[in-house]
Chains A and B, each alone.
Chain A
């Protein structure tokens, strides 16, 4: 039996663990803590492109032969999306859309972003659809300002107005409400009933209603459908500040599926270093309360994240190091590579990562495989600037899926 150790609990690691388990491996997943699901919008952006997405992706891998998509293959991306649908459907979550075109979706600030596959509760927010919008949120909630969101959408030529609704429970306690506080409130029928009653008179002919992504956490009830029925128009979610409720739904769906499949998920376990014998990784060392334990495996999937996720550590000089095996890194330059005119624009430092072959095995500068039984997945991979490309979630999933094919 293939013993597989996955390091990292973000979407890349979760999907790799799922895939490896489906192939009959004995799988353990270790991670320092919960990963990027909780700080992600919950949708799957694959490439920031309007028009025909599949040909854009084909073109992209043609011009970017070292991009993770080119190495993992677009087939891996499609299969990853199918696997995602399978796992989430089990939890009563529906993901819609495909690789033919992108949704254009509003953010909490009223900016726009593109995503190919989205939770069904986001779909009605597609700005390619001209229908006018009511953007609504609870009055007095510090994390979402309907007026700001609607105002910015209007500035870009979309038809939107805003309203707030009162949710006394939000202010009953003395503590700030997180998106989760609200999500738990929306799990209650009486709350949905009251919110719908307040919003109905504010519709003013709006064809749809956008609210912060707090529409319920409990499995089984699709709160956005329930609200849509009450209001008579489609209701859609807009991503919030963290913690992300749609991201938590995704994490919970994977956690449930993995545990049910017999995968041990071990959080609070930081892979501090790797143990190497020749050209193979024997295991990773994880410090316990008093002693280190070496977790051995036949295959190790590193999905530890990039510069922002902790998979690559750095210091004030801009030096970079792969955190577990000290793998060779593509380093795009010194400290100057960190700076650029736009914070979310292309920064040379964003291309930092581990170079891999088509099996996602790590390579050295000469293109030789460094560790035969290690696979790299997610943001740790070199050759892409996910933030600027709009490929963040797509790379997570495509390479997570590919890495799990062991």
Chain B
């Protein structure tokens, strides 16, 4: 709540408001606008409101809070306006005002709590069976909804005693075949979700990288900070960001690529630390330059002729949802390019922009129905496909799709690991 942020590039984001010609293409593409009267559209709360936002003056519009932050507006804008980024920065100011003026508002507390998903995973994991029982116990969820406004139907993942890191440093180090001499190293940033909730994603990524001759190392790491950032808590997010930069820069300094499994965490390391949080440090750019989305990294290996393609044929037809944050990496569709290497496999991109959940947005009681309505066309398409498996490369989107369609949803690399015949739970 302290540092006023006027760092260099953030200024640039705000200045992109001047590129807006008011064509409303962003409003026409916004997935939230069609399903609620509470949000006027990205043009209005973004570049249009921006001209009324003086430093220190109150944010002009509370409807900003209903922006889900998916970023579709930024992607469709033909003029280079960073609409979503303008909104995210404005949300941080809105939160600072709430902290000053309505510090006891339960929604503020809820938003703060949702930013601490790493801590939730740690604490929940310690008492996993109890935590899982509570989170699947209707009255408890009802209480959570009434007190904190966390929707009772929102898709929480299961807590685990056993963490991904525990597996990696324990069982895996004991059992893996010896690393070939001179194997290139890859540092894996797994993020909170893989460590606490979906260790199978991490195991698949490690297996695929090792199969391709890499030595996987696991840097110390913490939450990327996005849950705080998207809830306007920039100060908390910066705290996480600085810690990660400290932990990751030694790897980047040695030229070791940092691969990230979750598309949102990856975007934090690549651009948000600098562009949104304003951490314009040599460390931040060093880490960014060495950060790769796992699919991007594997596609680069393939382009360089270094990716093994000893895939077993797979006759399935699998729906693929491109997460919003994946699109913001601006790397095309590496997942589709990789999955296209598996003989016989048909992967159909769903072509629906957003699943609705956008991180913590869909967990909030007042937004749950909006998020569900945003995702409905996608849920319907996946259900209509008749497939029993779908692919999406971002965590909360996966949980949302699985909960809303009843279809199992996995990461691209889990399907690749299976096609390689690696020892994995089948995807």
* Contacts from A to B (Cβ < 8 Å): 28, 30-35, 38-39, 172-176, 178, 180, 184, 242-243, 248, 255-256, 259, 264, 266-270, 286-291, 293, 295, 310
Q: Are A290 and B333 in contact (CB under 8 A)?
A: no
Q: Which residues of B contact A39 (CB under 8 A)?
A: 23, 25
12 A–B contacts, CB within 8 A, in A order: A31-B78, A33-B76, A39-B25, A175-B41, A175-B44, A176-B44, A180-B27, A264-B349, A267-B327, A268-B75, A286-B330, A288-B330
Q: Quick one: closest A residue to B266, CB to CB?
A: A289
Q: Quick one: closest B residue to A288, CB to CB?
A: B330
Do A33 and B24 contact each other (CB < 8 Å), given the known contacts A289-B270, A290-B271? no
Q: What CA separation (Å) do A28 and B327 show in the bound complex?
A: 15
Interface centre among B25, B27, B270 (most CB of A within 10 A): B25
**B34 contacts the other chain (Cβ, under 8 Å)?**
yes
Of the residues A34, A174, A184, A268, contact of B25 by C-beta under 8 Å: A34
Residues 22-47 of B, flagged 1 when their CB comes within 8 A of A and 0 if not, give 01110111000110010011001000
Q: Quick one: closest B residue to A9, CB to CB?
A: B78
Interface centre among A33, A34, A288 (most CB of B within 10 A): A33
Q: Are A180 and B28 in contact (CB under 8 A)?
A: yes
Q: Are A289 and B37 in contact (CB under 8 A)?
A: no
Q: What CA separation (Å) do A176 and B336 show in the bound complex?
A: 39
Q: Are B28 and A243 in contact (CB under 8 A)?
A: yes
Q: Are B76 and A268 in contact (CB under 8 A)?
A: yes
Q: Are B28 and A38 in contact (CB under 8 A)?
A: yes
Q: Which residues of A contact B24 (CB under 8 A)?
A: 38, 178, 242-243
**B205 contacts the other chain (Cβ, under 8 Å)?**
no
Q: Which residues of B contact A290 (CB under 8 A)?
A: 270-271, 288-289, 291
Residues B317-332 near A (CB distance < 8 A)? 327-332
Of the residues A178, A255, A259, A293, contact of B28 by C-beta under 8 Å: A178
Q: Are B331 and A38 in contact (CB under 8 A)?
A: no
**B77 contacts the other chain (Cβ, under 8 Å)?**
yes
**B80 contacts the other chain (Cβ, under 8 Å)?**
yes
Q: Are B333 and A33 in contact (CB under 8 A)?
A: no
**B184 contacts the other chain (Cβ, under 8 Å)?**
no
Q: Are B289 and A291 in contact (CB under 8 A)?
A: yes
Q: What CA separation (Å) do A293 and B292 show in the bound complex?
A: 12
Q: Which residues of B contact A295 (CB under 8 A)?
A: 332
Q: Are B80 and A32 in contact (CB under 8 A)?
A: yes
The smallest C-beta distance from A106 to any residue of chain B, in angstroms, reads: 23
The smallest C-beta distance from B40 to any residue of chain A, in angstroms, reads: 4
The smallest C-beta distance from B83 to any residue of chain A, in angstroms, reads: 10
Of the residues B63, B80, B289, B332, contact of A28 by C-beta under 8 Å: B332
Q: What CA separation (Å) do A270 and B332 show in the bound complex?
A: 11
Q: How many residues of B contact A (CB 8 A)?
A: 36
Residues 274-297 of B, flagged 1 when their CB comes within 8 A of A and 0 if not, give 000000000000001101000000
Residues 59-94 of B, flagged 1 when their CB comes within 8 A of A and 0 if not, give 000010000000000111111100000000000000
Q: Are A268 and B332 in contact (CB under 8 A)?
A: no
Q: Are A178 and B333 in contact (CB under 8 A)?
A: no
Q: Are A34 and B76 in contact (CB under 8 A)?
A: yes
Q: Quick one: closest A residue to B44, CB to CB?
A: A175
Q: Are A268 and B23 in contact (CB under 8 A)?
A: no
Do A268 and B27 contact each other (CB < 8 Å), given the known contacts A172-B37, A291-B289, A293-B331? no
Q: Quick one: closest B residue to A180, CB to CB?
A: B28
The smallest C-beta distance from B29 to any residue of chain A, in angstroms, reads: 7
Of the residues B40, B75, B329, contact of A288 by C-beta under 8 Å: B329
Q: Are A266 and B23 in contact (CB under 8 A)?
A: no
Q: What CA separation (Å) do A86 and B43 show in the bound complex?
A: 34
Q: Are B74 and A38 in contact (CB under 8 A)?
A: no
Q: What CA separation (Å) do A290 and B293 show in the bound complex?
A: 11
Q: Quick one: closest B residue to A292, CB to CB?
A: B330
Q: Which residues of B contact A175 (CB under 8 A)?
A: 37, 40-41, 44, 63
6 further A-B contacts with Cβ under 8 Å, apart from A33-B78, A180-B28, are A33-B76, A33-B79, A38-B23, A175-B63, A267-B327, A290-B288
The smallest C-beta distance from A92 to any residue of chain B, in angstroms, reads: 16
**B139 contacts the other chain (Cβ, under 8 Å)?**
no
Interface centre among A180, A264, A289, A310 (most CB of B within 10 A): A289
Q: Which residues of A contact B25 (CB under 8 A)?
A: 33-34, 38-39, 242-243
Interface centre among A256, A288, A295 (most CB of B within 10 A): A288
Q: Quick one: closest B residue to A296, CB to CB?
A: B303
Of the residues A180, A289, A293, contact of B332 by C-beta under 8 Å: A293
The smallest C-beta distance from A177 to any residue of chain B, in angstroms, reads: 10
**B351 contacts the other chain (Cβ, under 8 Å)?**
yes
Q: Quick one: closest B residue to A172, CB to CB?
A: B37
Q: What CA separation (Å) do A173 and B41 show in the bound complex?
A: 13
Q: Which residues of B contact A184 (CB under 8 A)?
A: 34
Q: Quick one: closest B residue to A265, CB to CB?
A: B351
Q: Which residues of A contact B291 (CB under 8 A)?
A: 290
Q: What CA separation (Å) do A180 and B33 show in the bound complex?
A: 10
Q: Are A178 and B78 in contact (CB under 8 A)?
A: no
**B267 contacts the other chain (Cβ, under 8 Å)?**
yes
Interface centre among B78, B289, B332 (most CB of A within 10 A): B78
